Structure 1
Amino acid sequence: MNRQHYFFALALPPESKKQLHQQFLNLHLPFARLVHEQDLHLTLAFLGGAEEDQLSRACGYVAERLEGFGTFSLAVQSFGCFGRVDSPRIFWAGVKDSPRLMSLQQSVQEACGKAGFQLEARPFRPHITLARKWRGEEPFQLPAASPMMEFAAEKVVLYRTHLDRTPKYEEAQAFAIIT
Protein backbone atom coordinates (compact mmCIF):
# COMPACT_ATOMS: atom_id res chain seq x y z
CA MET A 1 0.00 0.00 0.00
CA ASN A 2 1.19 3.50 -0.81
CA ARG A 3 2.28 5.28 2.40
CA GLN A 4 1.43 8.77 1.14
CA HIS A 5 -1.93 10.25 2.07
CA TYR A 6 -4.32 11.92 -0.35
CA PHE A 7 -7.32 14.21 -0.06
CA PHE A 8 -9.62 16.23 -2.30
CA ALA A 9 -9.92 19.90 -1.42
CA LEU A 10 -11.25 23.15 -2.72
CA ALA A 11 -8.24 25.22 -3.71
CA LEU A 12 -7.99 28.83 -2.61
CA PRO A 13 -6.67 31.36 -5.11
CA PRO A 14 -3.08 32.46 -4.28
CA GLU A 15 -4.14 36.01 -3.36
CA SER A 16 -6.78 34.62 -0.96
CA LYS A 17 -4.22 32.35 0.68
CA LYS A 18 -1.91 35.31 1.17
CA GLN A 19 -4.68 37.51 2.59
CA LEU A 20 -5.98 34.86 5.01
CA HIS A 21 -2.49 33.90 6.15
CA GLN A 22 -1.69 37.55 6.88
CA GLN A 23 -4.94 38.03 8.79
CA PHE A 24 -3.94 35.07 10.97
CA LEU A 25 -0.38 36.33 11.51
CA ASN A 26 -1.78 39.71 12.59
CA LEU A 27 -3.47 37.97 15.55
CA HIS A 28 -0.07 37.04 17.07
CA LEU A 29 -1.36 33.76 18.53
CA PRO A 30 1.21 31.32 19.97
CA PHE A 31 0.42 28.07 18.17
CA ALA A 32 3.15 25.43 17.83
CA ARG A 33 2.66 24.83 14.11
CA LEU A 34 1.37 27.33 11.59
CA VAL A 35 0.00 26.05 8.29
CA HIS A 36 2.22 27.25 5.44
CA GLU A 37 0.50 29.85 3.28
CA GLN A 38 0.72 27.61 0.19
CA ASP A 39 -0.94 24.73 2.09
CA LEU A 40 -4.19 26.58 2.87
CA HIS A 41 -7.22 24.73 1.44
CA LEU A 42 -10.73 23.57 2.33
CA THR A 43 -10.86 19.77 2.62
CA LEU A 44 -13.76 18.02 0.87
CA ALA A 45 -12.77 14.36 1.35
CA PHE A 46 -9.80 12.77 3.14
CA LEU A 47 -8.77 9.53 1.43
CA GLY A 48 -5.72 8.40 3.38
CA GLY A 49 -3.40 5.97 1.65
CA ALA A 50 -4.47 4.68 -1.76
CA GLU A 51 -3.35 2.63 -4.72
CA GLU A 52 -2.93 4.38 -8.08
CA ASP A 53 -5.86 2.56 -9.74
CA GLN A 54 -8.25 3.53 -6.95
CA LEU A 55 -7.05 7.16 -7.12
CA SER A 56 -7.50 7.12 -10.88
CA ARG A 57 -11.09 5.88 -10.53
CA ALA A 58 -11.85 8.54 -7.89
CA CYS A 59 -10.41 11.26 -10.13
CA GLY A 60 -12.54 10.10 -13.04
CA TYR A 61 -15.69 10.14 -10.95
CA VAL A 62 -14.87 13.56 -9.48
CA ALA A 63 -14.28 14.97 -12.96
CA GLU A 64 -17.69 13.64 -14.06
CA ARG A 65 -19.43 15.20 -11.04
CA LEU A 66 -17.84 18.60 -11.64
CA GLU A 67 -19.01 18.88 -15.25
CA GLY A 68 -21.47 21.76 -15.41
CA PHE A 69 -21.21 22.42 -11.64
CA GLY A 70 -20.15 26.03 -12.13
CA THR A 71 -18.00 28.36 -10.09
CA PHE A 72 -19.39 30.10 -7.03
CA SER A 73 -18.25 32.52 -4.32
CA LEU A 74 -17.45 31.75 -0.70
CA ALA A 75 -17.07 34.16 2.19
CA VAL A 76 -14.59 33.51 4.99
CA GLN A 77 -16.14 35.13 8.04
CA SER A 78 -15.22 33.48 11.34
CA PHE A 79 -12.49 31.92 13.43
CA GLY A 80 -12.99 28.76 15.43
CA CYS A 81 -11.19 25.83 16.95
CA PHE A 82 -11.34 22.08 17.46
CA GLY A 83 -10.28 20.49 20.72
CA ARG A 84 -10.35 21.90 24.21
CA VAL A 85 -11.70 25.44 24.37
CA ASP A 86 -8.81 26.66 26.56
CA SER A 87 -6.09 24.80 24.62
CA PRO A 88 -7.23 24.01 21.08
CA ARG A 89 -5.68 21.40 18.85
CA ILE A 90 -6.73 23.16 15.61
CA PHE A 91 -7.38 26.86 14.88
CA TRP A 92 -9.35 27.54 11.70
CA ALA A 93 -11.19 30.06 9.55
CA GLY A 94 -14.79 29.21 8.76
CA VAL A 95 -16.82 29.95 5.68
CA LYS A 96 -20.37 31.27 5.53
CA ASP A 97 -23.01 28.60 5.02
CA SER A 98 -23.21 27.77 1.34
CA PRO A 99 -25.60 25.28 -0.26
CA ARG A 100 -23.29 25.17 -3.30
CA LEU A 101 -20.31 24.18 -1.14
CA MET A 102 -22.36 21.50 0.62
CA SER A 103 -23.44 20.14 -2.76
CA LEU A 104 -19.84 20.15 -4.02
CA GLN A 105 -18.60 18.30 -0.94
CA GLN A 106 -21.38 15.72 -1.22
CA SER A 107 -20.58 15.18 -4.91
CA VAL A 108 -16.89 14.63 -4.16
CA GLN A 109 -17.73 12.29 -1.24
CA GLU A 110 -20.06 10.25 -3.44
CA ALA A 111 -17.45 10.02 -6.21
CA CYS A 112 -14.86 8.77 -3.70
CA GLY A 113 -17.31 6.26 -2.24
CA LYS A 114 -18.05 4.96 -5.73
CA ALA A 115 -14.28 4.43 -6.19
CA GLY A 116 -14.24 2.28 -3.04
CA PHE A 117 -12.94 4.71 -0.43
CA GLN A 118 -14.23 4.40 3.13
CA LEU A 119 -14.64 8.03 4.22
CA GLU A 120 -15.16 9.64 7.60
CA ALA A 121 -18.77 9.62 8.78
CA ARG A 122 -18.44 12.91 10.71
CA PRO A 123 -20.61 15.77 9.47
CA PHE A 124 -18.89 18.17 7.09
CA ARG A 125 -17.71 21.32 8.91
CA PRO A 126 -16.22 23.55 6.22
CA HIS A 127 -13.07 25.24 7.49
CA ILE A 128 -9.54 26.25 6.51
CA THR A 129 -6.97 25.09 9.06
CA LEU A 130 -4.56 27.88 9.99
CA ALA A 131 -2.59 26.50 12.96
CA ARG A 132 -2.18 23.52 15.29
CA LYS A 133 -1.42 22.98 18.98
CA TRP A 134 -1.98 25.94 21.29
CA ARG A 135 1.21 26.87 23.18
CA GLY A 136 0.11 30.00 25.01
CA GLU A 137 0.90 30.56 28.68
CA GLU A 138 -2.68 31.71 29.25
CA PRO A 139 -5.83 29.79 28.29
CA PHE A 140 -6.86 30.31 24.68
CA GLN A 141 -9.43 33.02 23.96
CA LEU A 142 -11.13 33.15 20.58
CA PRO A 143 -10.12 36.46 18.93
CA ALA A 144 -12.78 39.16 18.77
CA ALA A 145 -11.66 39.96 15.21
CA SER A 146 -13.07 37.91 12.35
CA PRO A 147 -11.48 37.20 8.99
CA MET A 148 -13.16 39.01 6.14
CA MET A 149 -12.63 37.92 2.58
CA GLU A 150 -14.37 36.33 -0.35
CA PHE A 151 -12.98 34.05 -3.00
CA ALA A 152 -14.21 32.20 -6.06
CA ALA A 153 -14.47 28.43 -5.82
CA GLU A 154 -12.97 27.51 -9.18
CA LYS A 155 -10.84 24.41 -8.66
CA VAL A 156 -10.92 21.09 -6.79
CA VAL A 157 -7.52 19.48 -6.25
CA LEU A 158 -6.34 16.00 -5.35
CA TYR A 159 -3.48 16.70 -2.94
CA ARG A 160 -0.65 14.35 -1.99
CA THR A 161 0.82 14.82 1.50
CA HIS A 162 4.57 14.99 2.17
CA LEU A 163 5.05 15.23 5.93
CA ASP A 164 8.79 15.84 5.54
CA ARG A 165 8.42 18.96 3.34
CA THR A 166 7.34 22.56 3.68
CA PRO A 167 4.93 23.26 2.12
CA LYS A 168 3.70 19.71 2.59
CA TYR A 169 0.81 19.42 0.11
CA GLU A 170 1.52 18.68 -3.54
CA GLU A 171 -1.10 19.09 -6.24
CA ALA A 172 -1.44 15.62 -7.78
CA GLN A 173 -4.35 16.49 -10.07
CA ALA A 174 -6.61 19.52 -10.51
CA PHE A 175 -10.19 19.80 -11.72
CA ALA A 176 -11.70 23.08 -12.87
CA ILE A 177 -15.21 23.75 -11.66
CA ILE A 178 -16.65 24.40 -15.10
CA THR A 179 -19.69 26.54 -15.75
Structure 2
Amino acid sequence: MEPMAHYFYAVKIPDETKTVMKEHMERLKRSLPFSRWVHHQDIHITLAFLGYAEQEQLVAAHKNVEIALRDEKAFPLKINKLGVFGKSDRPRVFWADAEYSPELHQLRKKVFSACEQADFNLETRPYRPHITLARKWQGEEPCHLNLLDIWHQLQPEPLPFLAKEAVLYRTNLQETPKYQVIHSYPLQT
Protein backbone atom coordinates (compact mmCIF):
# COMPACT_ATOMS: atom_id res chain seq x y z
CA MET A 1 0.00 0.00 0.00
CA GLU A 2 1.38 3.40 -1.02
CA PRO A 3 1.75 5.87 1.87
CA MET A 4 -0.47 8.96 1.79
CA ALA A 5 1.18 11.97 0.21
CA HIS A 6 1.90 15.04 2.28
CA TYR A 7 1.92 18.60 0.96
CA PHE A 8 3.70 21.79 1.95
CA TYR A 9 4.37 25.29 0.71
CA ALA A 10 7.97 26.44 0.47
CA VAL A 11 10.40 28.92 -0.98
CA LYS A 12 12.09 27.14 -3.86
CA ILE A 13 15.88 27.39 -3.73
CA PRO A 14 17.34 28.32 -7.16
CA ASP A 15 19.19 25.53 -9.00
CA GLU A 16 22.54 27.36 -8.95
CA THR A 17 22.31 27.66 -5.15
CA LYS A 18 21.33 23.98 -4.88
CA THR A 19 24.50 23.10 -6.82
CA VAL A 20 26.68 25.06 -4.38
CA MET A 21 24.86 23.47 -1.43
CA LYS A 22 25.36 20.00 -2.95
CA GLU A 23 29.13 20.59 -2.97
CA HIS A 24 29.05 21.88 0.62
CA MET A 25 26.92 18.93 1.75
CA GLU A 26 29.39 16.45 0.23
CA ARG A 27 32.13 17.98 2.36
CA LEU A 28 29.92 18.19 5.45
CA LYS A 29 29.12 14.47 5.22
CA ARG A 30 32.80 13.68 5.89
CA SER A 31 32.80 15.25 9.35
CA LEU A 32 29.14 15.19 10.41
CA PRO A 33 27.76 11.62 10.64
CA PHE A 34 24.02 12.04 10.14
CA SER A 35 22.10 8.98 8.98
CA ARG A 36 19.90 10.58 6.31
CA TRP A 37 21.04 13.42 4.10
CA VAL A 38 18.53 15.40 2.06
CA HIS A 39 18.93 15.15 -1.72
CA HIS A 40 20.21 18.54 -2.89
CA GLN A 41 17.25 18.89 -5.28
CA ASP A 42 14.91 18.68 -2.25
CA ILE A 43 16.36 21.58 -0.23
CA HIS A 44 13.85 24.39 0.41
CA ILE A 45 12.56 26.76 3.10
CA THR A 46 9.17 25.60 4.38
CA LEU A 47 6.42 28.21 4.62
CA ALA A 48 3.48 26.01 5.70
CA PHE A 49 3.31 22.24 6.22
CA LEU A 50 -0.14 20.94 5.27
CA GLY A 51 0.31 17.22 5.80
CA TYR A 52 -2.26 14.95 4.16
CA ALA A 53 -4.87 16.97 2.27
CA GLU A 54 -8.15 16.37 0.51
CA GLN A 55 -8.27 17.60 -3.09
CA GLU A 56 -10.89 20.26 -2.28
CA GLN A 57 -8.66 21.72 0.43
CA LEU A 58 -5.67 21.78 -1.93
CA VAL A 59 -7.71 23.58 -4.58
CA ALA A 60 -8.91 26.14 -2.03
CA ALA A 61 -5.39 26.68 -0.67
CA HIS A 62 -4.02 27.07 -4.21
CA LYS A 63 -6.59 29.75 -5.07
CA ASN A 64 -5.99 31.56 -1.78
CA VAL A 65 -2.19 31.48 -2.12
CA GLU A 66 -2.36 32.57 -5.74
CA ILE A 67 -4.38 35.64 -4.73
CA ALA A 68 -2.24 36.36 -1.65
CA LEU A 69 1.04 36.27 -3.61
CA ARG A 70 -0.18 38.03 -6.76
CA ASP A 71 1.79 41.23 -6.08
CA GLU A 72 4.66 39.81 -4.02
CA LYS A 73 8.16 40.71 -5.16
CA ALA A 74 11.27 38.53 -5.25
CA PHE A 75 13.73 39.26 -2.44
CA PRO A 76 17.32 38.41 -1.53
CA LEU A 77 18.23 35.80 1.08
CA LYS A 78 21.62 34.69 2.43
CA ILE A 79 22.54 31.32 3.93
CA ASN A 80 24.88 32.22 6.77
CA LYS A 81 25.38 29.40 9.28
CA LEU A 82 24.57 25.85 10.36
CA GLY A 83 22.42 24.69 13.26
CA VAL A 84 20.63 21.74 14.80
CA PHE A 85 17.28 20.89 16.37
CA GLY A 86 17.00 18.39 19.19
CA LYS A 87 19.60 17.46 21.79
CA SER A 88 22.86 19.25 21.06
CA ASP A 89 24.91 16.06 21.55
CA ARG A 90 22.62 13.87 19.37
CA PRO A 91 20.64 16.23 17.14
CA ARG A 92 17.66 14.98 15.16
CA VAL A 93 17.80 17.71 12.46
CA PHE A 94 20.81 19.44 10.90
CA TRP A 95 20.07 22.64 8.98
CA ALA A 96 21.42 25.73 7.27
CA ASP A 97 20.13 29.09 8.43
CA ALA A 98 19.13 32.10 6.38
CA GLU A 99 19.83 35.60 7.68
CA TYR A 100 16.70 37.29 9.05
CA SER A 101 14.46 38.62 6.27
CA PRO A 102 11.29 40.63 6.88
CA GLU A 103 10.22 39.75 3.32
CA LEU A 104 10.47 36.02 4.07
CA HIS A 105 8.39 36.41 7.24
CA GLN A 106 5.79 38.44 5.34
CA LEU A 107 5.64 35.79 2.58
CA ARG A 108 5.21 33.07 5.19
CA LYS A 109 2.46 35.03 6.93
CA LYS A 110 0.49 35.39 3.67
CA VAL A 111 0.86 31.71 2.73
CA PHE A 112 0.05 30.56 6.27
CA SER A 113 -3.10 32.71 6.39
CA ALA A 114 -4.21 31.55 2.92
CA CYS A 115 -3.89 27.91 4.04
CA GLU A 116 -5.78 28.54 7.28
CA GLN A 117 -8.60 30.06 5.20
CA ALA A 118 -8.73 26.73 3.34
CA ASP A 119 -9.37 24.99 6.70
CA PHE A 120 -5.87 23.61 7.28
CA ASN A 121 -4.77 23.22 10.90
CA LEU A 122 -1.16 24.37 10.79
CA GLU A 123 1.83 24.26 13.12
CA THR A 124 1.55 26.89 15.87
CA ARG A 125 5.17 26.99 17.05
CA PRO A 126 7.07 30.20 16.26
CA TYR A 127 8.35 30.24 12.68
CA ARG A 128 12.03 29.34 12.36
CA PRO A 129 12.99 29.41 8.65
CA HIS A 130 15.76 26.94 7.80
CA ILE A 131 16.98 24.56 5.11
CA THR A 132 17.05 20.97 6.37
CA LEU A 133 20.26 19.22 5.26
CA ALA A 134 20.23 15.96 7.23
CA ARG A 135 18.50 14.02 9.99
CA LYS A 136 19.46 11.83 12.96
CA TRP A 137 22.98 12.01 14.37
CA GLN A 138 24.57 8.56 14.19
CA GLY A 139 28.11 9.29 15.35
CA GLU A 140 29.65 7.10 18.02
CA GLU A 141 30.88 10.27 19.73
CA PRO A 142 28.46 13.00 20.77
CA CYS A 143 27.98 15.92 18.42
CA HIS A 144 29.93 19.01 19.43
CA LEU A 145 28.37 22.23 18.20
CA ASN A 146 31.79 23.68 17.36
CA LEU A 147 31.75 21.20 14.44
CA LEU A 148 29.17 23.49 12.84
CA ASP A 149 31.85 26.18 12.43
CA ILE A 150 32.99 24.26 9.33
CA TRP A 151 30.44 26.34 7.39
CA HIS A 152 32.77 29.36 7.53
CA GLN A 153 35.53 27.29 5.93
CA LEU A 154 33.19 26.19 3.14
CA GLN A 155 31.52 29.56 2.70
CA PRO A 156 33.52 32.47 4.20
CA GLU A 157 30.79 34.94 3.21
CA PRO A 158 27.03 34.26 3.43
CA LEU A 159 25.71 32.46 0.33
CA PRO A 160 23.28 34.85 -1.41
CA PHE A 161 20.35 33.89 -3.62
CA LEU A 162 17.17 35.49 -4.88
CA ALA A 163 13.91 34.04 -3.52
CA LYS A 164 11.85 34.32 -6.67
CA GLU A 165 9.37 31.46 -6.39
CA ALA A 166 7.06 29.91 -3.83
CA VAL A 167 5.81 26.40 -4.56
CA LEU A 168 3.39 23.75 -3.35
CA TYR A 169 5.30 20.47 -3.00
CA ARG A 170 3.96 16.92 -2.81
CA THR A 171 6.08 14.39 -0.92
CA ASN A 172 6.75 11.14 -2.81
CA LEU A 173 8.50 8.98 -0.21
CA GLN A 174 9.45 6.21 -2.63
CA GLU A 175 11.30 8.55 -5.02
CA THR A 176 14.60 10.45 -5.06
CA PRO A 177 14.43 13.40 -5.10
CA LYS A 178 11.17 13.09 -3.23
CA TYR A 179 9.53 16.52 -3.54
CA GLN A 180 7.40 17.21 -6.60
CA VAL A 181 6.24 20.72 -7.52
CA ILE A 182 2.43 20.77 -7.81
CA HIS A 183 1.97 24.55 -8.20
CA SER A 184 4.45 27.36 -8.67
CA TYR A 185 3.90 30.97 -7.62
CA PRO A 186 6.53 33.18 -9.29
CA LEU A 187 7.43 36.33 -7.37
CA GLN A 188 7.84 39.52 -9.38
CA THR A 189 11.42 40.37 -10.37
* Range into which the TM-score falls when normalised by the shorter chain: over 0.9
Q: Distance in 2 between matches of 1:124 and 1:136?
A: 29
Matches within 5 A, 1:2-21: 3-21=4-22
Selected match of 2:85 from 82, 85, 96: 82
TM-score between both structures, scaled by the size of structure 2: 0.91
Which of 121, 133, 136 aligns to 1:133? It is 136
Contact 1:62/1:111, CA 8 A, preserved across alignment: yes
Unaligned runs of at least 5 residues, structure 2: none
CA deviations over 1:61-113 (Å, ceiling 9, x no partner): 11111111100000000100001100100000000001000000000000000
Q: Distance in 2 between matches of 1:71 and 1:49?
A: 29
After the TM superposition, which residues 108-119 of structure 1 pair with which residues of structure 2 at under 5 Å, given as runs? 108-119=111-122
CA–CA separation in structure 2 for the residues paired with 1:36 and 1:79: 17
Partner SS, residue 3 of structure 1:
coil
Match of 1:167 among 172, 177, 182: 177
Choose between structure 1 and 2: higher helix proportion: 2
Q: CA deviation at 1:178?
A: 2.2
1:6-155 matches, within 5 Å, as 6-27=7-28, 28=30, 29-142=32-145, 143-146=148-151, 147=155, 148-155=158-165
When normalised by structure 1's length, the TM-score is 0.96
Q: Give the superposition deviation at 1:20.
A: 1.5
The structural deviation recorded for 1:18 is 1.4
The equivalent of 2:187 in structure 1 is: 177
- Secondary structure, in 3 states, of the residue corresponding to 1:160? strand
Q: Tell me, which stretches of 5 or more residues in structure 1 are unaligned?
A: none
What SS is found at the alignment partner of 1:105? helix
* Contact 1:7–1:46 under 8 Å retained in 2: yes
Shift of 1:24: 2.4
1:3 Cα deviation after fit: 2.0
Question: Would you say the 8 A contact 1:21–1:130 is kept in 2?
Answer: no
